[in-house]
Amino acid sequence: MALIYIDDLKNHIAEEIKISGWLYNKRSSGKVRFLVIRDGTGILQCVMVKGIIQDDVFNLFDTITQETSLHVFGKIKKDDRAPGGFEMELTNIQIIAIAKEYPITPKEHGVEFLMDLRHLWLRSSRQHAILRIRHQIIKAIREFFDNRGFILMDAPIITPAACEGTSTLFETDYFDLGKAYLTQSGQLYGEAGAMAHGKIYVFGPTFRAEKSKTRRHLTEFWMVEPEVAFADLNDNMELAEEFLEHIVTSVLKYRSAELKTLERNISILEKVKKPFPRVSYSEAVEILKKEGIDFEWGNDFGGTDETIISEGFDRPVIVHRYPAKVKAFYMKRDPQNPDLALAMDVLAPEGYGEIIGGSQREDDFDLLVQRIKEHNLPQSAFDWYLDLRRYGSVPHAGFGLGVERTVGWICGLEHVRETIPFPRMIYRLTP
Amino acid sequence: MALIYIDDLKNHIAEEIKISGWLYNKRSSGKVRFLVIRDGTGILQCVMVKGIIQDDVFNLFDTITQETSLHVFGKIKKDDRAPGGFEMELTNIQIIAIAKEYPITPKEHGVEFLMDLRHLWLRSSRQHAILRIRHQIIKAIREFFDNRGFILMDAPIITPAACEGTSTLFETDYFDLGKAYLTQSGQLYGEAGAMAHGKIYVFGPTFRAEKSKTRRHLTEFWMVEPEVAFADLNDNMELAEEFLEHIVTSVLKYRSAELKTLERNISILEKVKKPFPRVSYSEAVEILKKEGIDFEWGNDFGGTDETIISEGFDRPVIVHRYPAKVKAFYMKRDPQNPDLALAMDVLAPEGYGEIIGGSQREDDFDLLVQRIKEHNLPQSAFDWYLDLRRYGSVPHAGFGLGVERTVGWICGLEHVRETIPFPRMIYRLTP
């Protein structure tokens, strides 16, 4: 393909080239007219002067509406005042398709209006920047695990049973085999993978049919779940902090322009370096009490609690050793105190809440059977999972990171709905 | 983590180290006993000699069953006769958990038996190799697009309407919004992404509730779908052949050991170099007729037809310009002959059939509305999609590659069910 993209203009200075894209903006200043073109990779200011350019081309200015598709021809010169740092001296314009009156204008629109037009809203500079940062975060996630010899282990989306009850599951008919459910987590399958490959990561969409209408909830979201054989809770915490440091460093390095578009305070992100502070659940409860919160030991933290706990730290904080009662059946108990689970959550700074949840897993067959019973889960559904303890059980640990919450935090967004191209919420299924 | 992995032994020659893993095999030869250990990254032969090692350690040999988890301690030496090229002179063994009698033995098992034990079957050398090649293929896919500036555009899994009818869709209730469906393709969303970012790729699981019980069909499979603004059918064919060449080259370079485990004929893969042969649909029909097949112009090719067409070529073959009637509504017609769609399929060699399907898209608003009507599709469901032609329509093209069929072809497998960790078929939903 002979296309030249705007993000490659530095290699075409002083050349006569063609750029293909859409009109982003235009303005006129007497005899000088400016067309600002976007091609998906950047923005280019094109300039034409009456009398120098042919009149019929000059007059096209009036017919070119916002988002009209076109080819522009001209010479590229460096211009530090121009957005992107380059300018094109126009010699010709070819219109491909005149756009109808574009519904998204510089004026304020309601979020529902913009979400109805999500397929067009994606073109605006802010959404464009967010999704490029999302791309970078996902790239960094895979790089991190691939470079450490982890094997990708895709877990099934359609599953026969739930990890923890069926109340928040999307259900579907599965031929003659009865009901099936959309996965909430690939972890159990990931554990099978870790026993085969040593260290693996599951990475795919997960689903919650939860009626949560908060700024942190989507019904469909992407999760990455590493699982490591022979790892304990400490290894797990170390892996989590190196992982988050890698992600943030990668975005700072490769997407600084996009962070600037979002007016993100970068100094906060630059502090995301290991080691992260680590506090036990009990210490976190003390923090809440000191802040005057009436919190009872044994309960799970809510969003506000997480915000208050994280406010005392300048980087993500790891909270570990939660009461076993509020955590999942597969978590190993603390040998020092069997009321506690060897669990850990990582809370993002600035009130973004839990972005990682993980644990060391119960590796003892009898104890795991007992937990399944205590949680009133059907043992038959977990028989294959129990096989992992029958045949060569080993200590192992892993965690899950929610992609959208991580994107929201790194971008500094109010609501998680802008972190994915086409969000799904309890009241939104379109476009 | 202080773990040393078997695939890193070259950096530990002559060192006294610990390896953690599972017993893969053992054999005894008089006073010399061998334990073959797997740790997920490779296989290590460990040797101990009676009289040199402590008797209590030597005697552990009898209690260690297949898949027992253990730590082995000893000195590493190079040994070209040993599998993997290294051997450990044992000094100590620590058993973690004795495995019960392992159900998968070297004798022949039926496929359904092995599929019921898929969570354990993953540990066997053949399945291990396949999933490492799958990992490499997915890595190569992302590398290819990332290195060319494509942006990842995750399309929604839960969708309000079908691309092409609802008969082969998994359905679920979506809160108060009625029925929703699992995606069959992210392409339409990808087109919106291409108009925003120039060139994008969708990569995620897709679903077909098809009652197809062939060796090429899964109900849940992964698909990657690039989409490029300002690209035509020729650009699309070029992108597809460069893409496949990159994937195969990457597997040959980084997974030659795994291909050897699978006894794959590598010389066939080494021929996958661009340019690929290109034949029009009409030329492909002539090939069938020459081979004595009674095929009527205008029909779609079946699996056997594809095999016969591809047999005449030593690398993947691109078939282009199909009758519009057998192709989807969104494909652009050939300006030379409006009965033809600007479609292309890539057929893998050796009878593996279609692994890529794509086209240039209809970019004219009125023609697209007409096609939607001709296909009896509800226009309202596609109103957002039509917006992409209302506001700055441009020529564009893209394709979809099925990951599992590609893995099956590159690995040389009989059936697509072994190409994904936990396959879903009409008669299989577990484990």
Nearest C-alpha of chain A: how many angstroms from B293?
A: 35
Residue B214: what pLDDT? 84
Residue B165: what pLDDT? 61
Question: How many angstroms separate the CA atoms of A134 and A156, rounded?
Answer: 23
Tell me whether residues B139 and A160 touch, CB distance under 8 A. no
Tell me whether residues B160 and A430 touch, CB distance under 8 A. yes
Q: Where are the alpha helices (DSSP H) in B231-349?
A: 233-254, 256-261, 266-270, 281-290, 303-311
Tell me whether residues A119 and B385 touch, CB distance under 8 A. yes
Mean pLDDT of chain A: 96
| pLDDT per position as a tens digit, A33-66 | 999 999 999 999 999 999 999 999 999 999 999 9
Question: What residues of A are in contact with residue B68 (Cβ under 8 Å)?
Answer: 392
Question: What residues of A are in contact with residue B393 (Cβ under 8 Å)?
Answer: 69, 96-97
Q: 3-state class of B372 per DSSP?
A: helix
Nearest C-alpha of chain B: how many angstroms from A308?
A: 32
Contact, A277 vs A318, CB < 8 A? Answer: yes
Kind and range of the H or E run holding A384: helix A383-390
Question: How many angstroms separate the CA atoms of A312 and A361, rounded?
Answer: 30
pLDDT of residue A165 exceeding 70: no
Size of interface A-B (CB pairs under 8 A): 272
What DSSP line would sit under B194-241, residue for residue?
HHHHSEEEEEEEEE------STT--SEEEEEEEEEET--HHHHHHHHH
First-to-last alpha carbon distance for chain A, in angstroms, is: 31
Nearest chain A alpha carbon to B200? A40
Nearest C-alpha of chain B: how many angstroms from A42?
A: 9
| pLDDT per position as a tens digit, A76-104 | 999 999 888 999 999 999 999 999 999 99
A378 vs B246, higher pLDDT: B246
A255 touches B: beta carbon within 8 Å: no
Q: Where does residue A310 fall: left (phi above 0), alpha (psi -120 to 50 degrees), or beta otherwise?
A: alpha
Chain A window 142-171: which residues touch B at a Cβ cutoff of 8 Å?
A: 142, 146, 149, 151-160, 170-171
| Residue A383 phi, psi (nearest 5) | -60, -40
Residues contacting A244, CB < 8 A, separation 6+: A272, A276, A316, A346, A355, A356, A401
| Residue A138 phi, psi (nearest 5) | -70, -40
Average pLDDT over residues A185-196: 98
Question: How many angstroms separate the CA atoms of A11 and A25, rounded?
Answer: 25
By Cβ distance, the residue of A69, A157, A430 closest to B205 is: A157
Tell me whether residues A119 and B172 touch, CB distance under 8 A. no
| pLDDT per position as a tens digit, A397-425 | 999 999 999 999 999 999 999 999 999 99
> Which pair of structure tokens corresponds to residue A344?
């850990």
Nearest C-alpha of chain A: how many angstroms from B104?
A: 11
Sorted by where each starts, the structural domains of chain B and their CATH numbers stand as 6-97 (2.40.50.140), 118-418 (3.30.930.10)
Residue A164: what pLDDT? 57
* Residue recorded with tokens 């790729």: B201
Average pLDDT over residues A376-402: 96
Question: How many angstroms separate the CA atoms of B1 and A54, rounded?
Answer: 69
Tell me whether residues B67 and A171 touch, CB distance under 8 A. no
Nearest C-alpha of chain B: how many angstroms from A96?
A: 7
Please name the amino acid found at residue A175.
F
Interface confidence, given as ipTM, is 0.97
> Which pair of structure tokens corresponds to residue B26?
């053992």
Contact, A410 vs A251, CB < 8 A? Answer: yes
Nearest C-alpha of chain A: how many angstroms from B68?
A: 4
By Cβ distance, the residue of B3, B135, B387 closest to A151 is: B135
Chain B window 180-239: which residues touch A at a Cβ cutoff of 8 Å?
A: 180, 182, 189, 192-199, 204-205, 207, 209, 211, 219-220, 222, 228-231, 235, 238-239
Tell me whether residues B40 and A1 touch, CB distance under 8 A. no
Question: How many angstroms separate the CA atoms of B301 and B296, rounded?
Answer: 10
Nearest chain B alpha carbon to A211? B175
Residue A215: what pLDDT? 87
Tell me whether residues B135 and A123 touch, CB distance under 8 A. no
Residue A162: what pLDDT? 58
Q: What is the pLDDT tens value at each position of chain B, 431 positions in all?
A: 479 999 999 999 999 999 999 999 999 998 999 999 999 999 999 999 999 999 999 999 999 999 999 999 999 999 999 888 999 999 999 999 999 999 999 889 999 999 999 999 999 999 999 999 999 999 999 999 999 999 999 999 999 975 556 678 999 999 999 999 999 999 999 999 999 999 999 999 999 998 888 888 899 999 999 999 999 999 999 999 999 999 999 999 999 999 999 999 999 999 999 999 999 999 999 999 999 999 999 999 999 999 999 999 999 999 999 999 999 999 999 999 999 999 999 999 999 999 999 999 999 999 999 999 999 999 999 999 999 999 999 999 999 999 999 999 999 999 999 999 999 999 999 99
Please report, for chain A, how many H helices and E strands are present, in that order: 13, 17
B377 touches A: beta carbon within 8 Å: no
By Cβ distance, the residue of A5, A122, A394 closest to B149 is: A5
HSE at residue B213, side-chain half, CA atoms within 13 A, is: 4
Nearest C-alpha of chain A: how many angstroms from B198?
A: 4
Question: How many angstroms separate the CA atoms of B136 and B39, rounded?
Answer: 19
Kind and range of the H or E run holding A146: helix A125-147
> Which pair of structure tokens corresponds to residue A264?
């993100």
Question: How many angstroms separate the CA atoms of B75 and A67, rounded?
Answer: 68
* Residue recorded with tokens 């070259």: B10
8-state DSSP, A380: G
SS percent in chain B: helix, strand, coil, step 5: 35, 30, 35
Which residue out of A41, A119, A228 would a mutagenesis test of the B interface target, given it has the greatest number of B Cβ atoms within 10 Å?
A119
pLDDT of residue A149 exceeding 60: yes
pLDDT of residue A163 exceeding 60: no
Please report, to the nearest 10 degrees, the dihedral formed by the alpha carbons of residues A308, A312, A317, A321 taken in order.
-70
**Which of these, B346, B328, B345, lies nearest to B191 by C-alpha position?**
B328
8-state DSSP, B306: H
